[in-house]
Amino acid sequence: MNNKFDALKDDDSGDHDQNEDSGSPKECEKEKNEEEEKDQNKRKTAVPGAGEHPLQYNYTFWYSRRTPGRPASSQSYEQNIKQIGSFASVEQFWRFYSHMTRPGDLTGHSDFHLFKEGIKPMWEDDANKSGGKWIIRLRKGLASRCWENLILAMLGEQFMVGEEICGAVVSVRFQEDIISIWNKTASDQATTARIRDTLRRVLNLPPNTIMEYKTHTDSIKAWEDFHGLVNASGGR
């Protein structure tokens, strides 16, 4: 029943396998908090080792892949997203990165997410809910290099926007790849403009590259509207 919908989503990046089907927002919130508590008990915060170069923030790598034929729900989004691990230093970052497939070599409909430790790569996370993202669509063959440049700039604090950056996503799709960077406050135009300018610089993009800013509330609304549309027309 989701095929039409899935086709529409195909060109979006990273964060879309969620909907509001499973209970009220309050219930979702409660579940999320409980899970966060569980996570915190289970996982220790990463710390830089002796002699390593500390990063300004700790980060966590995530991986997700859409399972074909399964209904999209916020639950399946959470189930399909896997934590790869967290790191606190430059050296720890390379340990993960060197043992991970480059995005350009991934198959299927999959995403790498690199977010600050404690921020889930989901619209609903407190750090993301008022935020948005810059999206750059890339023709095939560019994702690995652009992703590396993007995350090195983020880890090295090249964006100069204080606490605003939440994380970055690379989305491998059928005909193109998408990279995006998420920030906390979509309404902060000085910040979003600075992020855009830094992206142009660190990715070495051609001047005519189209960059699109999308607020997460718009993303959620588009998602819900489409659901409404599907339901109103009787779905399939």
Partner 1 sequence: MSADCQKTTSRAIPTRRVTINDATILPHDYSTTPGGTLFSTTPGGTRIIYDRKFLLDCRSSPVARTPPRCLPDIPGVTSPPSAHINNDKAHPPQQILNNNCSTHAEKSAGEDAQFEMDI
Q: How far is the CB of 221 from partner 1 (least distance, A)?
A: 30
Q: How far is the CB of 65 from partner 1 (least distance, A)?
A: 5
Centre a 10 Å sphere on the Cβ of residue 155 and count the other Cβ atoms it contains. Answer: 19
Q: Do the Cβ atoms of 76 and 70 come closer than 8 Å?
A: yes
Closer by beta carbon to partner 1, 74 or else 92: 92
| Closest CA relative to residue 224, chosen from 14, 19, 13, 17 | 19
Tell me 48's DSSP state: P
Closer by beta carbon to partner 1, 3 or else 33: 3
Q: How far is the CB of 17 from partner 1 (least distance, A)?
A: 13
| Closest CA relative to residue 186, chosen from 125, 116, 130 | 130
Which residues of this protein are in contact with partner 1, per CB under 8 A? 49, 51-56, 63, 65, 67-68, 80, 82-85, 87, 90-96, 98-101, 106-108, 110, 149, 152-153, 155-158, 160, 162, 190, 201-202, 204, 206-207
Closer by beta carbon to partner 1, 102 or else 227: 102
Closer by beta carbon to partner 1, 54 or else 222: 54
Cα distances from 200 to residues 23, 136, 142, 186, 206, in angstroms, run 41, 10, 15, 19, 8
